Amino acid sequence: MKLLFILDPLHTLTVYKDTSLAIMRAAQARGHHLYVCEQHDWHLQREIALVDAQPFNFDDNGWVVGDKTTHAPTVFDAVLMRKDPPFDNEYLYSTYLLELAQQQGARIINDPASIRGWNEKLSVARFPQFTPPFIVTSQRDKILAFLAEHGDIIVKPLDGMGGSGIFRLRKDDPNIFAILETLTQFETQTIMVQRYIPEIVKGDKRILIINGEPLPYALARIPKAGETRGNLAAGGKGVAQPLSDRDREIAETVGKTLKQHSLFLVGLDVIGDYLTEVNVTSPTGMVEIAAQSREWAVPCDPAKVMVEALEKGIAG
The distance from CA 201 to its chain's CA centroid, rounded to whole angstroms, is 22
How many CA atoms lie less than 13 Å away from 226 in the CB half-sphere? Answer: 0
* Nearest-angstrom CA–CA distance, 259 and 296: 29
Catalytic residue among 229, 231, 301, 304: 229
Catalytic residue among 25, 82, 83, 156: 156
pLDDT, average across residues 194-207: 96
pLDDT for residue 232:
73
Packing angle of the helix pair 286-293, 19-29 (nearest 10 deg): 60
User: In 10 A of CB 82, how many CB atoms?
Assistant: 24
For residue 314, the surrounding DSSP H or E stretch is: helix 302-315
Residue 2 annotated in active site: no
pLDDT for residue 234:
65
Three-state DSSP state, 146: helix
Residue 206 annotated in active site: yes
Catalytic residue among 77, 120, 247, 269: 269
Residue 121 annotated in active site: yes
Residue 156 annotated in active site: yes
pLDDT for residue 290:
97
Summarize pLDDT for 141-171 with one digit per residue, the tens: 999 999 999 999 999 999 887 778 899 999 9
* Nearest-angstrom CA–CA distance, 39 and 168: 34
Catalytic residue among 82, 83, 107, 121: 121
What's the whole-model pTM score? 0.95
Q: What is the DSSP string of 208-241?
A: EEETTEEEEEEEEEEPPTT-S---GGGTPEEEEE
Catalytic residue among 18, 206, 301, 304: 206
pLDDT, average across residues 45-57: 97
Asked if pLDDT for residue 110 goes beyond 70, the answer is yes
Catalytic residue among 277, 288, 301, 304: 277
Asked if pLDDT for residue 316 goes beyond 80, the answer is no
Q: Do 248 and 264 form a contact (C-beta atoms < 8 A)?
A: no
Phi first, then psi: give them for residue 169, nearest 5 degrees. Answer: -125, 135
Q: Which residue has the higher pLDDT, 77 or 227?
A: 77
Catalytic residue among 195, 279, 288, 304: 279
Residue 170 annotated in active site: no
pLDDT for residue 162:
76
Phi first, then psi: give them for residue 32, nearest 5 degrees. Answer: -90, 160
* Nearest-angstrom CA–CA distance, 251 and 258: 10
Residue 277 annotated in active site: yes
Asked if pLDDT for residue 39 goes beyond 70, the answer is yes
pLDDT, average across residues 209-232: 88
Catalytic residue among 119, 221, 288, 304: 221
* Nearest-angstrom CA–CA distance, 248 and 245: 5
Residue 294 annotated in active site: no
Residue 172 annotated in active site: no
Q: What integer best gives the mean pLDDT of the chain?
A: 95
Q: Please report, for residues 154, 157, 229, the alpha-carbon distance to residue 171 in angstroms, rounded to integers and kept in the order given.
A: 12, 20, 19
Summarize pLDDT for 254-286 with one digit per residue, the tens: 999 999 999 999 999 999 999 999 999 999 999
pLDDT for residue 160:
80
Asked if pLDDT for residue 45 goes beyond 80, the answer is yes
Summarize pLDDT for 170-181 with one digit per residue, the tens: 999 999 999 999
Percent of the chain with pLDDT over 90: 89
